[in-house]
Structure 1
Amino acid sequence: MLLRLPTSVSEAQRCLTEGAIPVGGATLVWAGWQRDGFPEQAVSLREVPEANVLGAEELGAAVLLHQVDERVPEVLRRAAAGIGTGAVRRTATVGGNIVGSTLRCLLPAAVVLGARALVLTPEGPVGTDLAELLAKQPLLLSLHWRTPVASGYRKLPEAAGGPPPYVVASAVHAPEGTRPLLRVAVREGYEVISETTPCDTDTDTDTDAVLEALDGTTLGSLPVQVREVVHEQVTEVLGRAGAR
């Protein structure tokens, strides 16, 4: 197998048109290739600058999970830190987790951040939303979002041999001139459900109203212990947002 390492978006685009298969960190595809056979050529984005961005409002697809640090919002940082073992996080990439993984541990965090994706198409880089990214699975270059006022993340304990653990993520956004907005996302099995509600961050009464509103959505059908975690996290995140 020929591994191609382009150093620009245009070169990566050429690799794709010539049939190279995206490899990411290879943590997910390697076993399949060993079983089914290796492709003639693969392409890695680890030398492409646009796929290695890491900042307050951007995260590249080629960034390794262990490199995701305090430059990104708390919800995304904690999500990355909770994936697999240290050895896995030193080889797995952001793009591989979101596009190539069935668990998509970073997805709830990306959802509550309202992230959009920059992807590479035959026509060049284009922006798209997360729904289209997951449906069409183009080559992801990077994620971009607006910095939230506060955010939170929690992965519930995993039962041995059971389904994937529940993940709860939340973030408060306060666009200038508008009422703050709370986004909550929960991974249930292999799916992510999410809800959005307006909120204020300066009264306990509003926190109660927000929790009641969330209970009236699809989140209200979650198991009791998961709803309790949602309530705890939303209360804490709204409290931190109001203290700023």
Structure 2
Amino acid sequence: MLLRLPRSVSEAQECLVEGAVPVGGATLVWATWLRDGFPEQALSLHDLPEANVVGREELGAAVVLHQVGDPAPEVLRRAAASVGTGAVRRAATVGGNLVGSTLRCLLPPALVLDARCTVLGPHGRYETDLSEVPAKRPLLLGLRWREPLVSGYRKLSGDAGGAPPLVVAAAVHAEDGGQHRLRVAARDGDEVLSGGTECVDGTEDVLGELWRTDVGALGAAARDVVREEVTGLLARLAGR
């Protein structure tokens, strides 16, 4: 297998056109390749500058999870720190988690940040929303978002080999006119539900509006966790 390490977006596009298979951190594809055979060419974004950025409002797809620290928002930092073991986090990448993983632990944080995706296809680079990433599995270059006022993340403990543990992510952004908007996303089993509402009244009113979104379809136990996270987040917002 030839591993290609492009140093520019144009070189990465050429690799795609020539049939190179994106490898990410190889934590997910290696076992499959050992079983089914290796591709002739693989593509890693390890040396691509645009895919290695960690900022307040952007994160590259080639960044390994243990590198997701300051200045990234709290919701992303805590999500990345919760994935697998230390050895996994030193190899697994942001792009691999969002595109290649079935668990996609970073998807709820990306949703509450209202992140946009920069992806690369055979015909060039373009921006799209998060829905295209799990559906079409493009080559992800990175994420961009607006910095939230406050954010939080909670992942419940789970049993090895059991159902994926509940994940709840939340963030509040400043809106035009001085308003604040709360976004919540939860992974419950294999399903990710998200919703948002304006923070115009007290906590119970905000939660009441939130239950009218897709988040309201969560079970009672999951909704209790959402309630705790939202209550804490709004308290932090009020204390700023």
Using the size of structure 2 for normalisation, the TM-score is 0.97
1:83 aligns with 2:92: no
Q: How does 1:28-67 map to 2 (within 5 A)?
A: 28-67=28-67
Residues 1:214 and 2:210 are matched in the alignment: yes
Amino acid at match of 2:148: P
Question: How many angstroms apart in 2 are the aligned matches of 1:220 and 1:159?
Answer: 25
| 1:54 aligned counterpart, secondary structure | coil
Residue by residue over 1:48-71, the C-alpha shift from the partner in whole angstroms, topping out at 9 and shown as x without a partner, is 001001100000000000000021
Is 1:190 the counterpart of 2:186? The answer is no
Shift of 1:217: 3.2
- Alpha-carbon offset, residue 178 of structure 1: 4.8
Secondary structure of the structure 1 residue equivalent to 2:131: helix
Match of 2:120 in 1: 120
Q: Which stretch of the first structure deviates more once superposed, 84-93 or 114-123? A: 114-123
Corresponding position: 1:158 with 2:183? no
Partners of 1:84 and 1:159 in 2: CA distance: 13
Letter in 2 for 1:149: L
Percent of paired sites with the same residue: 65
Contact 2:188 2:222 in 1 (8 A): no
Q: Deviations over 1:130-184 (max 9, x none)?
A: 0122221110000000000101100012134321001000000112325211000
Runs of 4+ in 1 over 3 A off after TM superposition: none
Q: Deviations over 1:23-64 (max 9, x none)?
A: 110000000000000000101000000100110000000000
Match of 1:144 in 2: 144
Structure 1, unaligned stretches of length 5 or more?
none
Count of matched residue pairs? 240
Match of 2:221? 225
- Taking the TM superposition and a 5 Å limit, the aligned residue runs for 1:86-97 are 86-97=86-97
Kindly provide the amino acid, as one letter, of the partner of residue 173 in structure 1.
H
The residue number in structure 2 matching 1:23 is 23
Is this contact kept in 1: 2:194–2:213, CA < 8 A? no
> CA separation in 1, counterparts of 2:160 and 2:21?
34
Q: Answer whether contact 2:196 2:213 (CA < 8 A) is retained.
A: no
Q: Which amino acid aligns with 1:24?
A: G
Q: Letter of the aligned partner of 2:77 in structure 1?
A: R
- Counterparts of 1:219 and 1:54 in 2: how far apart (Å)? 30
Instruction: Identify the match of residue 236 of structure 1 among 228, 232, 236.
Output: 232
Residues 98 and 133 of structure 2 are in contact (CA less than 8 Å); yes or no, is this contact kept in structure 1? no
| RMSD between aligned residues | 1.2
Do the aligned residues in 1 keep the contact of 2:65 with 2:81 (CA within 8 Å)? yes
TM-score normalized by structure 1?
A: 0.95
**1:117 Cα deviation from its structure 2 partner:** 0.3
Counterpart secondary structure, 1:235:
helix
The 2-side partners of 1:161 and 1:30 are apart by 20
Unaligned runs of 5+ in 2: none
